[in-house]
Each structure stands twice: as structure tokens, then as C-alpha cells.
Amino acid sequence: MEKIEYGDVNKFLVSIGLILIVLSFIIPYYSLKEDFGVYLENSKIMQLQPHMQILILRKQMQVAFLQDIIPYISILLFSGGVLISQWGLCRWFKRQKSIDEKFDTELAKSKLELTAMSPVEVFEKAQNEVDEIEAANTEESQTPTSNNSLIEYLKVEERVYNLFKNNRNKNFETYSQMRLGQIEIDIVMASKSSAFLDRIIEIKYYQTNFNHYVVDKALVQLNNKIIYYKSNTNRNAVPVLMIIYEPNTLGTGNIPSVQAQVIEWASQYPDLNHLKIVFSTISEIETFDVKILLKK
């Protein structure tokens, strides 16, 4: 047996509603137009046999009763038809809206020419970022991070991706670990309307050291990504730098001063003039409110 399509049910409901609405006009019209063979003169009725007179009188009473209730039947048919049609249309429009959103999402993704990074590319990207941070630590004569740094880095990125993925916002479609031409993007939040700008989110996890060199390099990378994104998609985007750190790396009391420093460092890059900066300890990732980044 062929499965009934979801849209067919809605079409059926709308069709039933329209039929009831049409019947609410047709029934009164024909009831007034048709005489049902009972409109006879009394003189003619009296000439008939008694049992025929009884049948005609009974039929006249039945027709009179129907004539009395037909207006109510028409009102019920019309009201029921309107309600059923409205119900079917609401279900239909809701379903169609979901289909349109899915289509718009696929269309937006195709226009952006985003492609998902392979597991190997994801691994190599994380390895390069960890190497950069470790190299900066070595230059400052600090103890290099352990051999588990890469695994921890990948776990942190995955937690952040899940955080944004679980944020179901009607105005944005979220993609993680994407490639756009020559650039690799941690998270893209593509706006579904012109009322909002896209978000390009760069994730950095500092396990031990946090210094000017590693942060400035992250700002340079984010600035280049914003420039490339704008020129290749014809869409504007808000840059977001999400810094994940261990509590002993910065300390809660130092966050405002460090944030001011990062903003000062970013001021030399014109394309980062709307930069949003997020500081989060590794234990607070899941509690971060993504909606903060989506405000106009």
C-alpha cells in the first residue's frame, strides 16, 4: 500500500472544507428553487382520496420542517467548512514553511560554497594550532604542553561545536568544521534573512600560556578569514573570537584587563572593528549562552 504523503492530508482537509462551504450555499438555493410537488391548491387536494390527502399533508409538513432547519444546516456546513479549511491550511503552511526553510538552508549553503572538512583535515588543523601555541610557550622558556594536548584540544573544539549545534535559532543555520575555498572555518552561523549578519567563529584553547604572540596570530587569521569570506560570498559577517582557557592560565579577576588588551590588539585590523570576544573556562563551555553572540 502506498504511503500517504503528509501534504496530501492537508490537501484533503482543505478540499473537504471547501466542499462543505459550497454545500452551505447549494442546499438553500435548491430548497428554495424546488417545490417538491407539494404546492397544490386546497381544492385539488380535497378532490383526492383521503389516504392521498394524508400523504400530501405529511409531505408538506416534512418539507416545511426541512425548510425551517436548512438555514441552520447551512450555517453549520459553512462554519465547519471554514474551520476545517483553516486547519488544513495552517497545517499545510506550517509544513511548507519547514520545506522552504530546508530548501533555503541548502540554497544558502550552496551559495556559500561551504564544504565539510574531512577528519584528516580537522586533525591537521588542530595539530597546527597546538603546535603554534606550544612554539610560543617554548620561546618564552615555559614548560611545553603534554603529549595529550592535541587530544584535549580536539575534545574542547567538539564541545564548543555541540554547544552551537544544540542552539536552535530560527534566524541562523550553523555549520562546523567547514572549508570555504582556501580558508578553514571553525563555525559559520549563516543568517537566513537580511536582518542579521553571519557569524564567523574562531575557537582557541589555551591550556597553559596566553600571550600577545599567540593571540595576535589568532586575530590575524580571523581577520584574513573575514576578508576572504566577504569577498567570496558577498555576505557580511561578524567576527567572533572564542577563547577557552584553564582557570590557572588567566584567573577570573584578570579577564576584563585581558579583554581590553585583545580589543586594543584587534583595533589595528579594520575588518575586526565589530569583533565579539568570548572568554570561557573549560568547565563553563556548556553554560555559555550563544544568544549573546546573535544580538544585532
Can you tell me the distance from the alpha carbon of 15 to that of 115, in angstroms, rounded to the nearest whole number? 43
In a domain, 191, yes or no: yes
Q: Are residues 284 and 177 in the same domain?
A: yes
Residue 78 lies in a domain: yes
Q: What is the pTM of this model?
A: 0.60
pLDDT tens, residue by residue, 179-221:
888 889 999 988 887 788 899 999 988 877 677 778 888 899 8
- 193 and 77, same domain (yes or no): no
Tell me the CATH number at 185: 3.40.1350.10
- The answer to whether residue 228 is domain-embedded is yes
Closest by CA position to 184, among listed 157, 159, 209, 208: 157
Residues 74 and 208 in one domain: no
Within this chain, do residues 145 and 200 fall inside the same structural domain, yes or no?
Answer: yes
More confident call, 241 vs 260: 241
Q: Are residues 15 and 78 in the same domain?
A: yes
- Give the distance from CA 104 to its chain's centroid: 10
63 and 46 in a single domain? The answer is yes
- What is the domain count for the chain? 2
> Does some domain include residue 85?
yes
Residue at which a domain ends, from 45, 79, 108: 108
Integer-rounded Cα Rg, in Å, for the chain is 36
Residues 102-114: tens digit of each pLDDT: 656 655 555 567 8
Residues 134 and 275 in one domain: yes
- Domain shared by 280 and 148, yes or no: yes
What's the pLDDT score for residue 224?
92
Q: State whether 33 and 103 are in the same domain.
A: yes
Length of the chain: 296
Alpha helix segments (H runs only) across the chain: 6-33, 42-46, 50-112, 119-139, 149-165, 212-233, 255-266
CA-closest candidate to residue 73, choices 33, 38, 36, 26: 26
Tell me, yes or no, whether 18 and 154 share the same domain.
no
Q: Which pLDDT does position 187 carry in this prediction?
A: 92
Does the residue 53 lie in any domain?
yes
Across-strand partners of 175?
188
Residue 190 inside a domain? The answer is: yes
Contacts of residues 97-104 at CB distance under 8 Å and 24 or more positions apart, as own/partner, are 101/192, 104/192
For residue 1, being part of any structural domain is answered with no
Domain that holds residue 183: 113-294
**What is the average pLDDT score of the chain?**
79
Q: Give 26-80 pLDDT, tens digit per residue.
A: 877 776 666 555 555 566 656 666 766 666 667 767 777 777 787 888 888 888 8
The share of the chain scoring above pLDDT 70, in percent, equals 76
Res. 222: pLDDT tops 60: yes
pLDDT of 249 above 50:
yes
Last residue of a domain, one of 56, 89, 108: 108
Does residue 145 sit in the same domain as residue 71?
A: no
Segment 123-150 shows an average pLDDT of 70
- Confidence (pLDDT) at 6: 46
**Those residues with Cβ within 8 angstroms of residue 135's Cβ, 6 or more apart along the chain or in another chain:** none
Domain boundary among 89, 108, 127: 108
b/e burial code for range 135-167 (CB count within 10 A of at least 16 → b): ebbeeeeeeebeeebbebbbebbeebbebbeeb
**Encoded amino acid at 52, one letter:** M
Q: Are residues 234 and 258 in the same domain?
A: yes
DSSP annotation string for 189-200: EEESSTTS-EEE
